[in-house]
Amino acid sequence: MTDLAQLELDLINAIGSAETAAAVEDLRVAALGKSGSISGLLKGMGAMSPDERREQGPKINGLRDRVSSALTARKAELESAELDARLKAEHVDLTLPPRPRRRGSVHPTMQVMDEMVALFADMGFAVAEGPDVEDDFHNFTALNFPPKHPAREMHDTFFLKPDPETGERKVLRTHTSPVQVRTMMSQTPPIRIIAPGRTFRKDSDATHTPMFHQVEGLVIDKGIHMGHLKWTLETFV
């Protein structure tokens, strides 16, 4: 009678020592194939007496199941390792070098504005600024716009929603002139400023956009006359 314990030990050791999935398959055929060692034991059960079959049957079937499980586990382990090795060997770097990040540049409009500011600064002008959102007084009334002036109409000016408490409707400034008003109300002469900035009007066609830029100048001092204005314009041009 075959020593089942020794046969199992030999098969388990052989399975554990197998280094390739193909070697494991050879062991499977040798143990569980048509002419395998365990298959031979199963076939031999037909010649056993009923008592021997009752005793040896569960042992042989258990041996078959344990060896089959060991074969399956070892084969899966080796196939996974072989796949990893093949993937590493066949690895192809599909990445592309990154596109270089282009450096930004100053917008042409701001370039012109900066040049104008620098030019007027050389002539002694300071830069004054004001809010983009203005009230009616600074944008219209203080500049002598009459109540029915077309610029106050909805089709020419961007009005904001009325204030829920006061009902006042502010506007997106239609010019940088409110900066002159604010400067004259907060400073005493002599005044020599330019007011560069964004302005907003409901113009949108081939030559106009709803947002554009202006640069206004203001000079208040004693002895100022048209000759100063002419010189300033000629120097600017």
| Domain-wise residue ranges, the chain | 4-89, 108-236
The size of the chain, in residues, is: 237
Distance CA 230, CA 237 (A): 11
Beta strands 171-172 and 133-134: pairing type? antiparallel
Quickly tell me which residue has 């560069």 as its tokens: 196
Of residues 35 and 195, more confidence is placed in 195
In which element (H, E) is residue 153 found? none
Distances (CA, A) of 86 to 79, 83, 127, 171: 10, 5, 70, 70
Q: What CATH homologous superfamily does 108-236 map to?
A: Bira Bifunctional Protein; Domain 2 (3.30.930.10)
For 138-187, write each residue's pLDDT tens digit: 999 998 888 888 877 767 889 899 888 888 889 999 999 999 999 999 99
pLDDT-based confidence at 2, cuts 50/70/90? low
Burial label for 139, CB within 10 Å (0-12, 13-18, 19+), is buried
46, pLDDT greater than 80: no
For 56-111, write each residue's pLDDT tens digit: 778 877 878 888 888 888 889 988 988 888 888 888 888 888 888 888 899 999 99
The pTM score is: 0.54
